[in-house]
Structure 1
Amino acid sequence: MHADPGRTWHLDDLARSATMSRTAFAARFTSVAGVPPLTDLQHWRIRLAQQALRESDTSVAALAASLGYTSESAFSTAFKRARRPGPTRLPGSVARRANLIRGVGR
């Protein structure tokens, strides 16, 4: 999951690849990682997003798509749920600077 965070992952597929039932896979993953598999994926995506927003000029929409979110809105909602403020308000983010520039002269 960490190698391909933009992929649409399903618990069934993960369990099948480990030749385990969904329940057994989720329980084992949680016991090792401390969180369920898809929660781990969401946390990983948010960490990648935070890094990209700080270090690159990737737009929020492009970042959302690259991380497997169906829309910029879905990404922003997940980001806000995991970490306040939203992605365009992250201190030092290119998206924040772009919003500030757009607001100049209003």
Structure 2
Amino acid sequence: MKRQVYRVILNGFAFFIAAQFLPIVSSTPLHFLWAGIILSLINLIIRPVLIILTIPLNLITLGVFTLIINTWMIMLTSGLLPGFYVPGFGVAFLASIVVSFANWCFKEIRH
């Protein structure tokens, strides 16, 4: 449970950092935390199904297609949360790189 709370906070912080460099629109800073909560729920429920369904594409692209899945998850988060807007696929892709890097760093620190 503690790990999931850290992950939510980390995702919100990663969105905040990405918004400093990318045109991610948020009406309040609290929306970054809400975006982290929604992204964590989406990653818990929908992402595993997509990962399993796209195993052949992940094998062909040596795992790079996972970034596309992460991009879709960020775009879905943007669509579900009013007041938090990611303007397009390119921005969502760059944000997914930032969020993935932050989660990778967190995973490495925890081990």
- What is the TM-score normalised by the length of structure 2? 0.29
Point out the structure with the larger helix share: 2
- What is the TM-score normalised by the length of structure 1? 0.30
Larger RCO, structures 1/2 (Cα 8 Å, 6+ apart): 2
